[in-house]
Structure 1
Amino acid sequence: MPYFSIIIPVYNRPDEVNDLLESLSKQTYKDFEVIIVEDGSTVCCADAVKRYASIVDIHYYYKENEGRSIARNYGLERAVGSYFIFFDSDCVIPEGYFEALNAVLNRHYTDCFGGPDAAHDSFSDVQKAINYSMTSFLTTGGIRGGKVQLEKFTPRTFNMGFSREVYDRVGGFREMFSEDIDMSTRIRQAGFDISLIRDAFVYHKRRISMRLFFRQIYIFGMSRISLYLLYPDTLKLVHWFPACFVIGTLAMIVASFFWWPAILPLAMYLFAVFLVSWCVNKRLKIAALSVVASIIQLGGYGMGFLKAFFYKVLLGRGRDEAEEVRLRKGK
C-alpha cells in the first residue's frame, strides 16, 4: 500500500488537473496514490486522468455535486494510505515535494502539517500579483506560511496533510466556508501536533482575474466571523486588520477633502507594498498589479468581515448557523 494518499476535489478544471497530474508524474519520490473526486463537473477531467493513468497510481471517481468538503471526505473513505495529502486542483507540485516531505516526517514526525505556496515563473502577471498579496507579511501578517507570523500557523487545503490516526479520531471535513481552518482547529483541539514544513511548497495558480479574486476574498472575510462563532478564542488582532484598513481608508479619503496630508499614511503603505513586490518579483508591472491586488485583498476581506460581524454578531443572526455547523460530524 502507498504511504501517501493524495486527495483532490475537482469541479470543472480539466486543464488545471492535467498540469497537476503532469507535475505529480515527475516526482522523485513515488510512494503515493492519487484520488481525484469529480464533484459533479459538467466539464470533466477524465481524459487527463487517462493520459497519466499508466504513469501515476490514479483512482478517479465521479459523484454528484455536493461541495468540496464532501468530495474530500468521499476520497478519504476510499484512500488506503497512512498519511493523507490535500491539494487544490489548480496547484502544480515541485518535483522534489514528496522527497522533501518524507525526509522531514522521518526526522520529526508530525500528525498534521501545512506548506506554503508560491508563484511559478509561467504564471500570469495577475496571478503573481495575487500570490504576492496573499502571502506578503504586509498584507496577511505571514499567516499563510511566512517566515514571520502574527498567529499560530493554520494549514490550508491547497497544501495540507494529516495522518490516518487524525482522521480516525477527528473525522473528516465539515461542509462550510473555510473548512480547512475548521479542520485544523479541531485537529489542534484534539491534541495533535501541527507543523509548518516550508520545504513542502506548491505553486498555486489562484484566480485568473481581479474580479474573481475579490469574490473569493470577500467570502473569506465573512467566513472568519463564522469561525469566530464556532471558536471565539481563534479571532486574533491580525484578522481585524483588513476591517481597520477599510474603515481607515474611508476616513482618510474623506478627511483628505479638508486636509490633503490625511491621505499620506495610505499612500505610504501602498508605496511600501509596491516597493517590496518590486524587490520580490523584479518587475514594475507586477509591483503595480500587487498594489491593486492588495487593495482588493484587504478591502474585500474587510468588507466581508464587517458585514458578517454586523449581521451575525451584533444582530445575533449567526448563532443558529454556528449550532448547525457544530452538529455536522465531518463524515
Structure 2
Amino acid sequence: MSHPRFSLIVPTFGRPEEVTEFLESLLEQDYDSFEVIISDGTPKDTLRPELERFLDQEVYPLTLHYEEYLPVSAARNDGAKIAIGDYFIFLDSDCIIPSGYLKAIDAYIEKNDPDIFGGPDAAHADFTTLQKAISYSMTSMLTTGGIRGKKSHVGTYHPRGFNMGMKRSAFEAVNGYSTFRCGEDIELSIRLIKAGYRTALIEDAHVFHKRRTSIRQFFKQVYRFGAARINIWKLHPEEMKLTHVFPLAFITYFIVSILAILSYYGSLLAIPMILYTLAVWVDATFQNKSIRVGSLAVITTVVMHAGYGWGFLKNYIHWSRHGEGMKL
C-alpha cells in the first residue's frame, strides 16, 4: 500500500472481544488509504494471540505496539510515534466503525481543511438494552451528553478521544497527550484550540460506541469523568462552564425531590424533577422505539449525573484539602 492518509490509533487493555469486533468492522471500510496501530498495555501480552489473524491478513496494515500496563495517554503518544499517516485518528477499542466512516472524513477534509475534527457516537441496532440506554444518556440534548457531538452543541466543539482526528503537524506542535489518565482527550483539544488550530464536527463520521456493560461500570466511568473535569479546570480555568456543574446540581435537587415527596407540604418541589424524568423517558422511548430502553434510560441518566457529580465534588474537596487532584 502507498503512504496512508489516515493512521487509526487505538489504545487497548484487555477486552479481546471488543478489539476483535473493532478490527472486523474496519474490514468493511469503503476507503483504503489507512493503517491501524493497536497500542496495547494488556498484562502478559495476552491480547496478541487474539489478533494474529488480523496481523496476517493484507486488507489493511496493522501494527501492534506492546508495553505492559501502558497508560492510555502514553499508549496514544506511542502509537503516534509509530504512525506514518498525514492525519491521526484516535478511537476507542469499544467502538464499531461504519463502512463509510473514513470516506466521510476524507470528503469533509477536502472541502473544509480543518486542523482537528471529531464525530458523534451512536448506538448500533444490535446493542443491548442497557448499552442503548447508556448511549442515550451520554448523547441526548436532555442531558449534558448533548454537547458531545451534536450540530447544536454549545460553544467551541472539543473532539473526544473515542472519535478524534487531527493533522499530524498539529499533534506534534503541542507535543501530543499530557500525562492525564482521564480527561486527556479534552485537555488535548483545549491545548490545540488555544494554539489556534481550527476544530470541526463531522456529523457523518459517527461511530457505534459500546461503552460499559453494567450500571456499576458505568457509574465508575462517569465518576472518573467528573473528577477529571476538576483537574482540567485547575489547568485551564477558563474551561469551566455551567454545563459542567449541572450534574452536581441535578443530583442534589434529585435528593431534595425524593425527600420532598415524603412531605405533603413540600411535594411541589418534586414536580420539576418528575417532569424532567418523564421527558427523558418519552424522548428515549421515541428515539429507540422501545419502552424498555426509555425506562432504563431514566435510570442511566440519574446514574450518569450522580457518578459525574460525585466525582466532581469529591475531587474539588480533594484539591481544596491537598492542593492536588485525586489519582484516577
Q: TM-score scaled by structure 1?
A: 0.93
Q: Which moved more, 1:137-146 or 1:199-208?
A: 137-146
1:298 pairs, out of 297, 301, 305, with: 305
Aligned to 1:143: 147
Q: Aligned partners of 1:292 and 1:76: how far apart in 2?
A: 38
Q: Aligned partners of 1:286 and 1:296: how far apart in 2?
A: 15
2:295 is equivalent to residue 285 of structure 1: no
Deviations 1:302-331 (A, max 9, x none): 11112222332xx2534x459xxxxxxxxx
TM-fit CA distance, 1:214: 0.2
TM-fit CA distance, 1:251: 2.0
Aligned partners of 2:137 and 2:145 also within 8 Å: no
Aligned partners of 1:24 and 1:95 also within 8 Å: yes
Kindly report the root-mean-square deviation, in angstroms, between the aligned alpha carbons of the 2 structures: 1.6
Q: Which moved more, 1:119-128 or 1:143-152?
A: 143-152
Matches for 1:32-47 after TM superposition, within 5 Å: 32-42=34-44, 44-47=46-49
Letter in 1 for 2:314: K
Q: Aligned partners of 1:71 and 1:115: how far apart in 2?
A: 21
Aligned partners of 1:253 and 1:262 also within 8 Å: no
Aligned partners of 2:123 and 2:208 also within 8 Å: yes
SS at match of 2:75: helix
Aligned partners of 2:251 and 2:302 also within 8 Å: no
Letter in 1 for 2:229: R
Aligned to 1:89: 93
Aligned partners of 1:141 and 1:150 also within 8 Å: no
Aligned partners of 2:44 and 2:68 also within 8 Å: no
Letter in 2 for 1:27: Q
Letter in 2 for 1:240: V
Q: Aligned partners of 2:150 and 2:43: how far apart in 1?
A: 34
2:204 is equivalent to residue 202 of structure 1: no
SS at match of 2:322: coil
Matches for 1:156-305 after TM superposition, within 5 Å: 156-176=160-180, 177-258=182-263, 259=265, 260-305=267-312
Q: Aligned partners of 1:126 and 1:158: how far apart in 2?
A: 19
Aligned to 2:116: 112
TM-fit CA distance, 1:43: 6.6
Q: Which moved more, 1:124-133 or 1:165-174?
A: 165-174
2:107 is equivalent to residue 103 of structure 1: yes
The percentage of aligned residue pairs carrying the same residue is: 42
Task: Give 5+ residue unaligned stretches, structure 2.
Answer: none
1:133 pairs, out of 134, 137, 152, with: 137
Aligned to 1:329: none
Letter in 2 for 1:21: L
Return closer, same or farther for 1:267/1:21 CA change in 2, 3 Å cut-off: same
Return closer, same or farther for 1:128/1:42 CA change in 2, 3 Å cut-off: farther
Aligned partners of 1:141 and 1:148 also within 8 Å: no
Aligned to 1:19: 21
SS at match of 2:295: helix
Letter in 2 for 1:148: S
Q: Aligned partners of 1:255 and 1:2: how far apart in 2?
A: 60
Letter in 1 for 2:24: E
Aligned partners of 1:113 and 1:162 also within 8 Å: yes
TM-fit CA distance, 1:280: 0.2
Deviations 1:235-255 (A, max 9, x none): 001111101102211222223
Task: Give 5+ residue unaligned stretches, structure 1.
Answer: 323-331
Letter in 2 for 1:99: K
2:316 is equivalent to residue 309 of structure 1: yes
Q: TM-score scaled by structure 2?
A: 0.94
Equivalent pairs, count: 320
